[in-house]
A = this chain, B = another copy of it.
Amino acid sequence: MTGHNLQDTVALLTRTPAALDALLRDLPETWTFRNEGENTWSPFDVVGHLIHGERTDWMVRTKIILQFGEDRAFDRFDRWAQVRESQGKSLGELLDEFARLRSGNLDELRALNLQPEDLERRGRHPVLGVVTLSQLLATWAAHDLTHLHQVSRIMAHQYREAVGPWTQFLGVMQCAGHSS
């Protein structure tokens, strides 16, 4: 459980939908629908991806760990599911859906009343191998942050020429995302 505090995790998870809402709702499409080039995501896509995580990843995996331990590996996560699932929806609808799903998942998490020994329980990730429930829940929070990091980078990318020589002082303009 190094460096993991469940209350801190829940506190952050509670705030992400409101933070993305305050940043993105009704913002011009320059900021919300443009991406960083072919096969990259827009902020709209990122919100769809967060929704898919609420539906298929975090609490689903929590329950697999609690029920099956290492005996049953998690299903793989579909990183492009949101292209299909977000079709025909507005960004406002996605932000509402994300907030609703997150709130329900946090209610469910609190109802589990997890104790320190529960957080040490182990599960099996299809690629990473053995992981703990503590690591899964910490990753849920860090995953919000990696996508907030990504959204701010995607948005900044739209102004990479507009800022002229200032680009050299703006760390976000040098960020390529660190993904494989």
Contact A152 B149 (CB under 8 A): yes
**B residues near A7, Cβ cutoff 8 Å:** 28
Of B138, B139, B141, B159, the contact of A142 (CB 8 Å cutoff):
B159
**B residues near A132, Cβ cutoff 8 Å:** 164
Q: How far is the CA of A162 from the CA of B166 in the complex (A)?
A: 36
CB-CB under 8 A for A158 and B15, given A125-B165, A166-B142: no
* Chain A interface bracket (under 10, 10 to 19, 20 to 34, 35 or more): 35 or more
**B residues near A166, Cβ cutoff 8 Å:** 128, 131, 135-136, 139, 142
A88 within 8 Å of B by Cβ? no
A155 within 8 Å of B by Cβ? yes
**B residues near A142, Cβ cutoff 8 Å:** 156, 159, 162-163, 166, 170, 172-173
Q: How far is the CA of A12 from the CA of B163 in the complex (A)?
A: 15
Contact digits for A72-98, partner B, Cβ 8 Å, 1 yes 0 no: 000000000000000000000000000
